[in-house]
Structure 1
Amino acid sequence: MKPNDVLHIVEFEKFIPPFIELTRTRLAADRHHFFFIHRGDLYQPGEKSRIHRLSDYAAKPIGLAVLAKKMNLAGKIVLHGLTHFRLLVLLALQPWLLKKTYWIIWGADLYAYQKIGTSWQSRLKEMLRRFVIPRIGHLVTYVSGDVALARQWYGAKGQHHDCLCYASNVYHHLELPTRNSGSNLQILVGNSADRSNNHDGIFAALLPHLETGLEIHAPLSYGDQQYADEVTKFGSAKFGSKFHALREFMPYGDYLKLLSGIDIAVFNHERQQGMGNIISLLGLGKTVYMRKSTTSWQSLTNLGLTVGNIEDFKPAPLSSELAERNRQIIREQFSETKLVNQWRSILETH
Structure 2
Amino acid sequence: MIMHLMGATMYTKDFYSLVNTYFSNENHVFVNNLRSNDPQFKAIFGILSDSDIPIIRPSSLRFIKDAYKSDAIIFHGLFNIKYMIFFTLQPWLLKKCNWVIWGGDIYARKKKNKKLTEKVAEHLKLVLCRYLGYATTLADEDFRYFQDGYGFKGTHLKTKYPTPLTRKHLDKTISDNLSVNRGHQINIMIGNSATETNQHFQALDLLSRFRVYDLKLFIPLSYGDRDNFLAYGDKVIAYANSIFGEEKVKPIRKRMSAEEYIELISQMDIGLFNCNRQQAMGNIAILFASGAKIYLRSDTTMWSNYKERGNIIYNIEDIKHQSFEEFCQYDRENQVRNRTVIEQYTNININIERWKIIFNEITQQRH
Fold shared, TM-score > 0.5 on shorter chain: yes
Q: Is 1:333–2:351 an aligned residue pair? A: no
Measured in 1, the distance between the counterparts of 2:82 and 2:120 equals 12
Q: CA deviation at 1:149?
A: 0.8
Q: CA deviation at 1:262?
A: 0.9
- Provide runs of 4+ in structure 1 moved above 6 Å: none
Q: Is 1:322–2:318 an aligned residue pair? A: no
- Indicate the residue corresponding to 2:289 in structure 1: 283
- C-alpha change, 1:235 and 1:292, in structure 2 (3 Å) is same
User: How many positions carry a matched residue from both structures?
Assistant: 336
Tell me, yes or no, if the aligned pair for 1:8 and 1:34 is still in contact at 8 Å.
yes
Normalised to the residue count of structure 1, the TM-score between the two structures is 0.87
Measured in 1, the distance between the counterparts of 2:212 and 2:124 equals 52
Q: Is 1:150–2:146 an aligned residue pair? A: yes
The DSSP-based 3-state class of the residue aligned with 1:233 is: helix
Aligned match for 2:180, one of 178, 181, 184 = 178
- Indicate the residue corresponding to 1:259 in structure 2: 265
Q: Is 1:32–2:28 an aligned residue pair? A: yes
Q: CA deviation at 1:126?
A: 2.4
The DSSP-based 3-state class of the residue aligned with 2:287 is: helix
Q: Is 1:100–2:101 an aligned residue pair? A: no
- Indicate the residue corresponding to 1:60 in structure 2: none
Measured in 2, the distance between the counterparts of 1:234 and 1:121 equals 29
Q: Is 1:43–2:41 an aligned residue pair? A: yes
Normalised to the residue count of structure 2, the TM-score between the two structures is 0.83
Aligned match for 1:114, one of 110, 115, 140 = 110
- C-alpha change, 1:32 and 1:133, in structure 2 (3 Å) is same
Counterpart of 2:207 in structure 1: which amino acid?
L
Write the deviation string for residues 93-122 of structure 1: whole angstroms up to 9, x where unpaired: 332322221111121211121127566544
Q: Is 1:216–2:220 an aligned residue pair? A: no
The DSSP-based 3-state class of the residue aligned with 1:147 is: helix
Counterpart of 2:336 in structure 1: which amino acid?
E
Tell me, yes or no, if the aligned pair for 2:211 and 2:243 is still in contact at 8 Å.
no
Q: Is 1:303–2:309 an aligned residue pair? A: yes
- C-alpha change, 1:51 and 1:211, in structure 2 (3 Å) is same
- C-alpha change, 1:120 and 1:198, in structure 2 (3 Å) is closer
Q: CA deviation at 1:206?
A: 0.8
Q: Is 1:18–2:14 an aligned residue pair? A: yes
Measured in 1, the distance between the counterparts of 2:233 and 2:118 equals 26
Tell me, yes or no, if the aligned pair for 1:99 and 1:137 is still in contact at 8 Å.
yes
- C-alpha change, 1:116 and 1:71, in structure 2 (3 Å) is farther
Measured in 2, the distance between the counterparts of 1:201 and 1:299 equals 23
Measured in 2, the distance between the counterparts of 1:136 and 1:275 equals 26
Mind listing any 5+ residue stretches in structure 1 that lack a counterpart? 58-62
Mind listing any 5+ residue stretches in structure 2 that lack a counterpart? none
Counterpart of 1:148 in structure 2: which amino acid?
R
Measured in 1, the distance between the counterparts of 2:214 and 2:285 equals 26
Measured in 2, the distance between the counterparts of 1:15 and 1:136 equals 24
- C-alpha change, 1:43 and 1:109, in structure 2 (3 Å) is same
Q: CA deviation at 1:39?
A: 5.2
Measured in 1, the distance between the counterparts of 2:248 and 2:112 equals 38
